Amino acid sequence: MTQTAHGVEFNQQLSATPKSAEERAAILANPGFGNYFTDHTAVVDYSVNEQGEGGWHTARVEAYGPISLDPSAAVLHYGQEIFEGLKAYRHADGSIWTFRPEANAARLNKSARRLALPELPEEYFLGAIRELVQADKEWVPAGEGEALYLRPFMIATEAFLGVRAAREVSFRVIASPAGNYFGGELKPVSIWISREYARAGRGGTGAAKCGGNYAASLIAQQEAEANGCKQVLFLDHFNDDAVEELGGMNVFFVMKDGSLVTPALSGTILEGVTRMSVMQVAKDMGREVTERKITLDEWRDGVASGEITEVFACGTAAVITPIGVLKDTTEFIGSADAAAGETTMAIREQLLGIQTGTAPDTHGWLTRLA
Protein backbone atom coordinates (compact mmCIF):
# COMPACT_ATOMS: atom_id res chain seq x y z
CA MET A 1 0.00 0.00 0.00
CA THR A 2 1.24 3.51 -0.65
CA GLN A 3 0.19 6.57 1.26
CA THR A 4 0.73 10.18 0.37
CA ALA A 5 1.88 12.44 3.16
CA HIS A 6 2.83 16.03 2.46
CA GLY A 7 2.95 15.18 -1.25
CA VAL A 8 5.48 12.35 -0.82
CA GLU A 9 4.49 8.70 -1.33
CA PHE A 10 5.52 6.33 1.43
CA ASN A 11 5.34 2.65 0.68
CA GLN A 12 3.86 0.79 3.65
CA GLN A 13 5.45 -2.55 4.51
CA LEU A 14 3.91 -3.00 7.93
CA SER A 15 5.42 -5.33 10.51
CA ALA A 16 4.22 -8.94 10.47
CA THR A 17 5.14 -9.23 14.16
CA PRO A 18 4.04 -6.07 15.98
CA LYS A 19 4.01 -6.16 19.78
CA SER A 20 0.73 -7.39 21.24
CA ALA A 21 -1.54 -4.95 23.05
CA GLU A 22 -0.45 -6.55 26.35
CA GLU A 23 3.28 -6.23 25.59
CA ARG A 24 2.78 -2.62 24.56
CA ALA A 25 0.77 -1.84 27.69
CA ALA A 26 3.52 -3.33 29.86
CA ILE A 27 6.10 -1.07 28.17
CA LEU A 28 3.89 2.02 28.33
CA ALA A 29 3.35 1.46 32.06
CA ASN A 30 6.95 2.53 32.69
CA PRO A 31 8.71 3.58 29.49
CA GLY A 32 11.62 5.55 30.98
CA PHE A 33 13.56 7.32 28.23
CA GLY A 34 14.96 5.71 25.08
CA ASN A 35 14.56 2.13 26.26
CA TYR A 36 11.84 0.80 23.96
CA PHE A 37 11.01 1.31 20.33
CA THR A 38 7.79 1.10 18.36
CA ASP A 39 6.95 -1.51 15.72
CA HIS A 40 7.96 0.56 12.70
CA THR A 41 10.53 2.90 11.22
CA ALA A 42 10.26 5.39 8.36
CA VAL A 43 13.06 5.40 5.80
CA VAL A 44 14.05 7.52 2.79
CA ASP A 45 17.21 6.64 0.87
CA TYR A 46 19.45 8.90 -1.15
CA SER A 47 21.93 8.12 -3.86
CA VAL A 48 23.75 10.17 -6.45
CA ASN A 49 26.32 9.19 -9.07
CA GLU A 50 29.72 10.83 -9.54
CA GLN A 51 28.06 13.60 -11.51
CA GLY A 52 25.72 14.27 -8.62
CA GLU A 53 22.68 12.95 -10.48
CA GLY A 54 20.01 11.28 -8.39
CA GLY A 55 18.49 12.20 -5.05
CA TRP A 56 16.03 11.02 -2.42
CA HIS A 57 13.98 7.93 -3.23
CA THR A 58 12.22 4.83 -1.89
CA ALA A 59 10.29 6.49 0.94
CA ARG A 60 8.77 3.76 3.06
CA VAL A 61 7.50 2.67 6.44
CA GLU A 62 8.77 -0.77 7.41
CA ALA A 63 9.17 -3.00 10.45
CA TYR A 64 11.59 -1.72 13.09
CA GLY A 65 14.73 -3.84 13.09
CA PRO A 66 18.51 -3.96 12.59
CA ILE A 67 19.98 -2.05 9.64
CA SER A 68 22.15 -3.98 7.21
CA LEU A 69 25.29 -1.91 6.56
CA ASP A 70 28.48 -2.69 4.71
CA PRO A 71 31.41 -2.77 7.18
CA SER A 72 33.04 -0.04 5.09
CA ALA A 73 29.99 2.26 5.31
CA ALA A 74 31.27 5.81 5.77
CA VAL A 75 29.25 6.47 8.92
CA LEU A 76 31.13 3.69 10.74
CA HIS A 77 34.50 5.29 10.01
CA TYR A 78 34.13 9.03 9.67
CA GLY A 79 31.02 9.66 11.72
CA GLN A 80 29.05 11.32 8.94
CA GLU A 81 25.81 11.34 10.90
CA ILE A 82 23.24 13.86 12.07
CA PHE A 83 20.03 13.57 14.04
CA GLU A 84 17.03 15.36 15.47
CA GLY A 85 14.71 14.94 18.43
CA LEU A 86 11.06 15.95 18.77
CA LYS A 87 7.95 14.56 20.40
CA ALA A 88 4.40 13.48 19.53
CA TYR A 89 1.86 14.39 22.21
CA ARG A 90 -1.55 12.80 22.78
CA HIS A 91 -4.19 15.41 23.55
CA ALA A 92 -7.21 14.80 25.76
CA ASP A 93 -9.46 14.04 22.76
CA GLY A 94 -7.07 11.30 21.61
CA SER A 95 -5.62 13.29 18.69
CA ILE A 96 -1.82 13.30 18.25
CA TRP A 97 0.23 16.42 17.63
CA THR A 98 3.84 17.46 17.28
CA PHE A 99 5.55 20.72 18.15
CA ARG A 100 7.33 22.96 15.61
CA PRO A 101 8.50 20.13 13.33
CA GLU A 102 9.47 22.67 10.66
CA ALA A 103 12.13 23.97 13.04
CA ASN A 104 13.58 20.48 13.42
CA ALA A 105 13.46 19.98 9.65
CA ALA A 106 15.34 23.25 9.18
CA ARG A 107 17.91 22.37 11.85
CA LEU A 108 18.44 18.94 10.28
CA ASN A 109 19.32 20.67 7.03
CA LYS A 110 21.63 23.10 8.79
CA SER A 111 23.38 20.10 10.32
CA ALA A 112 23.39 18.37 6.92
CA ARG A 113 25.19 21.32 5.33
CA ARG A 114 27.87 21.28 8.03
CA LEU A 115 28.41 17.51 7.77
CA ALA A 116 28.40 17.52 3.94
CA LEU A 117 25.24 15.41 3.90
CA PRO A 118 22.39 16.07 1.46
CA GLU A 119 19.58 18.34 2.59
CA LEU A 120 16.23 16.61 3.01
CA PRO A 121 13.19 18.41 1.56
CA GLU A 122 10.85 19.38 4.39
CA GLU A 123 7.99 17.33 2.92
CA TYR A 124 10.02 14.15 3.39
CA PHE A 125 10.84 15.06 7.00
CA LEU A 126 7.24 15.87 7.88
CA GLY A 127 5.90 12.99 5.81
CA ALA A 128 8.18 10.44 7.51
CA ILE A 129 7.10 11.60 10.95
CA ARG A 130 3.43 11.57 10.09
CA GLU A 131 3.59 8.16 8.42
CA LEU A 132 5.49 6.60 11.31
CA VAL A 133 3.20 8.03 13.97
CA GLN A 134 0.12 6.91 12.04
CA ALA A 135 1.50 3.38 11.82
CA ASP A 136 2.42 3.37 15.53
CA LYS A 137 -0.26 5.63 16.99
CA GLU A 138 -1.14 3.15 19.74
CA TRP A 139 2.37 3.78 21.08
CA VAL A 140 1.76 7.44 21.90
CA PRO A 141 1.29 7.48 25.68
CA ALA A 142 -1.45 9.52 27.28
CA GLY A 143 -0.06 10.00 30.80
CA GLU A 144 1.03 13.34 32.21
CA GLY A 145 4.54 14.25 31.11
CA GLU A 146 4.60 11.38 28.62
CA ALA A 147 5.03 11.52 24.87
CA LEU A 148 6.36 9.55 21.93
CA TYR A 149 9.92 10.71 21.36
CA LEU A 150 10.77 10.84 17.64
CA ARG A 151 14.36 10.41 16.53
CA PRO A 152 15.01 11.31 12.89
CA PHE A 153 18.60 10.65 11.78
CA MET A 154 20.70 10.58 8.66
CA ILE A 155 23.69 8.32 8.05
CA ALA A 156 26.27 7.93 5.28
CA THR A 157 25.74 4.37 4.07
CA GLU A 158 28.11 4.35 1.09
CA ALA A 159 30.64 1.49 1.19
CA PHE A 160 33.82 3.45 0.54
CA LEU A 161 36.85 4.24 2.67
CA GLY A 162 38.04 7.39 0.92
CA VAL A 163 37.53 10.52 2.97
CA ARG A 164 34.88 12.42 1.08
CA ALA A 165 31.18 13.12 1.39
CA ALA A 166 29.22 9.92 0.82
CA ARG A 167 27.02 9.51 -2.24
CA GLU A 168 24.71 7.06 -0.53
CA VAL A 169 22.81 8.14 2.52
CA SER A 170 19.81 6.96 4.49
CA PHE A 171 17.33 9.10 6.44
CA ARG A 172 15.36 7.27 9.07
CA VAL A 173 12.94 7.98 11.89
CA ILE A 174 12.51 5.75 14.92
CA ALA A 175 10.17 6.35 17.84
CA SER A 176 10.39 5.62 21.54
CA PRO A 177 7.70 6.11 24.20
CA ALA A 178 9.05 8.46 26.84
CA GLY A 179 8.27 9.32 30.44
CA ASN A 180 9.98 11.92 32.57
CA TYR A 181 13.58 12.35 31.35
CA PHE A 182 15.21 12.68 34.74
CA GLY A 183 12.70 10.32 36.35
CA GLY A 184 10.30 11.03 39.19
CA GLU A 185 9.30 14.46 40.46
CA LEU A 186 10.61 17.72 39.10
CA LYS A 187 13.46 18.48 41.48
CA PRO A 188 16.24 20.95 40.69
CA VAL A 189 19.23 19.06 39.29
CA SER A 190 22.92 19.43 40.06
CA ILE A 191 25.24 20.22 37.17
CA TRP A 192 28.96 19.52 36.90
CA ILE A 193 31.33 22.09 35.38
CA SER A 194 33.53 20.61 32.67
CA ARG A 195 36.92 22.27 33.14
CA GLU A 196 38.99 19.96 31.01
CA TYR A 197 36.72 19.09 28.12
CA ALA A 198 34.87 21.11 25.52
CA ARG A 199 32.07 19.71 23.36
CA ALA A 200 32.72 22.13 20.54
CA GLY A 201 35.29 24.62 19.30
CA ARG A 202 35.16 27.61 16.99
CA GLY A 203 34.70 26.50 13.41
CA GLY A 204 33.72 23.05 14.61
CA THR A 205 30.39 21.30 14.65
CA GLY A 206 28.87 22.61 17.90
CA ALA A 207 25.93 24.27 16.14
CA ALA A 208 25.13 21.04 14.29
CA LYS A 209 23.32 18.11 15.85
CA CYS A 210 25.79 15.40 14.91
CA GLY A 211 26.68 12.24 16.78
CA GLY A 212 30.32 13.24 17.10
CA ASN A 213 29.46 16.13 19.43
CA TYR A 214 27.79 13.70 21.80
CA ALA A 215 30.65 11.21 21.57
CA ALA A 216 32.96 14.06 22.59
CA SER A 217 30.73 14.94 25.53
CA LEU A 218 30.45 11.47 27.07
CA ILE A 219 33.68 11.57 29.06
CA ALA A 220 32.56 14.83 30.67
CA GLN A 221 29.12 13.34 31.32
CA GLN A 222 30.80 10.36 33.01
CA GLU A 223 32.75 12.77 35.20
CA ALA A 224 29.50 14.56 36.08
CA GLU A 225 27.77 11.35 37.05
CA ALA A 226 30.75 10.19 39.08
CA ASN A 227 30.31 13.39 41.06
CA GLY A 228 26.60 12.97 41.63
CA CYS A 229 25.48 15.37 38.88
CA LYS A 230 22.85 14.76 36.21
CA GLN A 231 24.43 16.77 33.42
CA VAL A 232 27.57 18.64 32.51
CA LEU A 233 27.99 22.35 31.75
CA PHE A 234 30.34 23.29 28.95
CA LEU A 235 32.16 26.61 29.07
CA ASP A 236 34.16 28.46 26.42
CA HIS A 237 37.55 28.25 28.12
CA PHE A 238 39.03 30.69 25.59
CA ASN A 239 36.38 33.34 26.14
CA ASP A 240 36.32 34.15 29.88
CA ASP A 241 34.60 30.86 30.66
CA ALA A 242 31.45 31.99 28.88
CA VAL A 243 28.55 29.64 29.58
CA GLU A 244 27.68 27.58 26.52
CA GLU A 245 25.19 24.79 27.22
CA LEU A 246 24.70 21.46 28.91
CA GLY A 247 25.46 18.16 27.21
CA GLY A 248 21.93 18.07 25.82
CA MET A 249 20.15 21.26 26.88
CA ASN A 250 20.33 25.04 26.62
CA VAL A 251 20.51 27.27 29.70
CA PHE A 252 18.44 30.25 30.88
CA PHE A 253 18.91 32.67 33.77
CA VAL A 254 16.03 34.51 35.44
CA MET A 255 17.18 37.91 36.71
CA LYS A 256 15.96 39.85 39.73
CA ASP A 257 13.95 42.23 37.51
CA GLY A 258 12.05 39.28 35.97
CA SER A 259 13.94 39.35 32.66
CA LEU A 260 15.60 36.29 31.13
CA VAL A 261 19.13 35.89 29.82
CA THR A 262 20.43 33.03 27.68
CA PRO A 263 23.86 32.59 26.11
CA ALA A 264 24.01 34.10 22.62
CA LEU A 265 24.44 31.63 19.77
CA SER A 266 28.13 31.68 19.08
CA GLY A 267 28.55 28.88 16.56
CA THR A 268 29.44 26.44 19.31
CA ILE A 269 25.96 26.15 20.84
CA LEU A 270 23.08 24.09 19.48
CA GLU A 271 20.07 26.30 18.78
CA GLY A 272 17.36 24.45 20.66
CA VAL A 273 13.76 24.50 19.48
CA THR A 274 12.81 24.66 23.16
CA ARG A 275 15.23 27.59 23.61
CA MET A 276 13.53 29.59 20.85
CA SER A 277 10.11 28.65 22.20
CA VAL A 278 11.01 29.65 25.78
CA MET A 279 12.16 33.03 24.49
CA GLN A 280 8.80 33.57 22.76
CA VAL A 281 6.72 32.29 25.69
CA ALA A 282 8.62 34.57 28.07
CA LYS A 283 8.08 37.55 25.75
CA ASP A 284 4.37 36.65 25.57
CA MET A 285 4.37 36.86 29.38
CA GLY A 286 5.72 40.38 29.09
CA ARG A 287 9.27 39.51 30.05
CA GLU A 288 12.37 40.89 28.45
CA VAL A 289 14.70 38.24 26.98
CA THR A 290 18.34 38.91 26.16
CA GLU A 291 20.77 36.70 24.27
CA ARG A 292 24.26 37.66 25.36
CA LYS A 293 27.54 36.40 26.72
CA ILE A 294 27.24 35.31 30.32
CA THR A 295 30.27 34.00 32.16
CA LEU A 296 30.80 31.57 35.00
CA ASP A 297 31.90 34.54 37.15
CA GLU A 298 28.60 36.30 36.47
CA TRP A 299 26.69 33.13 37.36
CA ARG A 300 28.55 32.78 40.66
CA ASP A 301 28.39 36.46 41.58
CA GLY A 302 24.81 36.86 40.37
CA VAL A 303 23.53 33.98 42.50
CA ALA A 304 25.47 35.30 45.51
CA SER A 305 24.16 38.86 45.13
CA GLY A 306 20.60 37.86 44.28
CA GLU A 307 20.85 39.40 40.80
CA ILE A 308 20.19 35.92 39.35
CA THR A 309 17.15 34.36 41.00
CA GLU A 310 16.63 31.16 39.00
CA VAL A 311 18.56 29.06 36.50
CA PHE A 312 17.01 26.40 34.30
CA ALA A 313 17.90 24.11 31.44
CA CYS A 314 15.65 23.36 28.49
CA GLY A 315 15.40 20.82 25.70
CA THR A 316 12.87 18.56 24.03
CA ALA A 317 13.56 15.49 26.14
CA ALA A 318 13.40 17.08 29.59
CA VAL A 319 11.34 20.18 28.62
CA ILE A 320 12.40 22.61 31.37
CA THR A 321 14.42 21.49 34.35
CA PRO A 322 15.44 23.77 37.22
CA ILE A 323 19.15 23.84 38.04
CA GLY A 324 19.76 23.80 41.79
CA VAL A 325 23.52 23.51 42.01
CA LEU A 326 26.47 24.14 39.71
CA LYS A 327 29.71 22.69 41.00
CA ASP A 328 33.11 21.14 40.54
CA THR A 329 36.00 20.57 42.92
CA THR A 330 36.45 24.32 43.46
CA GLU A 331 32.96 25.80 42.97
CA PHE A 332 29.61 25.32 44.63
CA ILE A 333 27.01 27.71 43.24
CA GLY A 334 23.40 27.52 44.40
CA SER A 335 21.86 25.36 47.05
CA ALA A 336 21.34 21.62 47.32
CA ASP A 337 17.84 22.01 48.75
CA ALA A 338 16.66 24.71 46.33
CA ALA A 339 13.06 24.41 45.18
CA ALA A 340 11.99 24.93 41.57
CA GLY A 341 11.66 28.67 40.87
CA GLU A 342 8.33 30.34 40.16
CA THR A 343 9.29 31.74 36.77
CA THR A 344 10.84 28.45 35.69
CA MET A 345 7.64 26.62 36.59
CA ALA A 346 5.36 29.22 34.96
CA ILE A 347 7.24 28.98 31.67
CA ARG A 348 7.34 25.21 31.89
CA GLU A 349 3.61 25.02 32.49
CA GLN A 350 2.82 27.34 29.60
CA LEU A 351 5.07 25.48 27.17
CA LEU A 352 3.78 22.06 28.23
CA GLY A 353 0.24 23.42 28.04
CA ILE A 354 0.73 24.42 24.40
CA GLN A 355 2.36 21.09 23.56
CA THR A 356 -0.31 19.00 25.22
CA GLY A 357 -3.27 21.07 24.06
CA THR A 358 -4.35 22.62 27.34
CA ALA A 359 -3.13 26.15 26.52
CA PRO A 360 -3.96 28.02 23.29
CA ASP A 361 -1.46 27.56 20.45
CA THR A 362 -1.32 31.23 19.52
CA HIS A 363 1.80 30.89 17.37
CA GLY A 364 0.60 27.94 15.28
CA TRP A 365 3.34 25.70 16.67
CA LEU A 366 1.35 22.45 16.60
CA THR A 367 0.98 20.08 13.66
CA ARG A 368 -1.56 17.29 13.79
CA LEU A 369 -0.13 13.86 13.04
CA ALA A 370 -3.08 11.55 13.73
Residues engaged in binding ligand PLP (CB under 6 A): 85, 245, 248-250, 270, 272-275, 315-316
Q: How far is the CB of 202 from ligand PLP (least distance, A)?
A: 16
Strands 231-236 and 189-194: parallel
Q: Are 150 and 87 in contact (CB under 8 A)?
A: yes
Residues forming a β-bridge with 4:
9
Residue in 173, 130, 175 with CA at minimum distance from that of residue 148: 175
Q: How far is the CB of 205 from ligand PLP (least distance, A)?
A: 11
Residues forming a β-bridge with 96:
90
Between 315 and 341, CB nearer to ligand PLP: 315
Residue in 29, 61, 56 with CA at minimum distance from that of residue 45: 56
Between 46 and 125, CB nearer to ligand PLP: 125
CA–CA gap between residue 141 and residue 147 (Å, rounded): 6
Between 85 and 324, CB nearer to ligand PLP: 85
Between 64 and 214, CB nearer to ligand PLP: 214
Between 69 and 110, CB nearer to ligand PLP: 110
Counting DSSP H helices and E strands in the chain, the numbers are 8, 19
Residue type present at position 200: A
The residue whose Cβ lies closest to ligand PLP is: 272
Between 109 and 274, CB nearer to ligand PLP: 274
Q: How far is the CB of 315 from ligand PLP (least distance, A)?
A: 3
Distance linking the first and last C-alpha atoms of the chain:
18
Q: How far is the CB of 249 from ligand PLP (least distance, A)?
A: 5
Between 47 and 98, CB nearer to ligand PLP: 98
Query: Half-sphere exposure of residue 36, counting CA atoms within 13 Å on the CB side?
Result: 22
Other C-beta atoms lying within 10 Å of the C-beta of residue 295:
17
Alpha-helix residue ranges (DSSP H) falling in 43-100: 74-78
Q: Are 157 and 170 in contact (CB under 8 A)?
A: yes
Between 166 and 313, CB nearer to ligand PLP: 313
Task: Return the SS3 of 300.
Answer: helix
Residue in 84, 149, 72 with CA at minimum distance from that of residue 111: 84
Q: How far is the CB of 274 from ligand PLP (least distance, A)?
A: 3
Residue in 271, 202, 191 with CA at minimum distance from that of residue 227: 191
Q: Are 98 and 364 in contact (CB under 8 A)?
A: no
Q: How far is the CB of 350 from ligand PLP (least distance, A)?
A: 15
Q: How far is the CB of 85 from ligand PLP (least distance, A)?
A: 5
Q: Are 132 and 175 in contact (CB under 8 A)?
A: yes
Q: How far is the CB of 245 from ligand PLP (least distance, A)?
A: 5
Between 157 and 250, CB nearer to ligand PLP: 250
CA–CA gap between residue 317 and residue 180 (Å, rounded): 8
Q: How far is the CB of 230 from ligand PLP (least distance, A)?
A: 14
Between 61 and 354, CB nearer to ligand PLP: 354
CA–CA gap between residue 102 and residue 129 (Å, rounded): 11
Residue in 11, 69, 80, 78 with CA at minimum distance from that of residue 42: 11
Q: How far is the CB of 272 from ligand PLP (least distance, A)?
A: 3
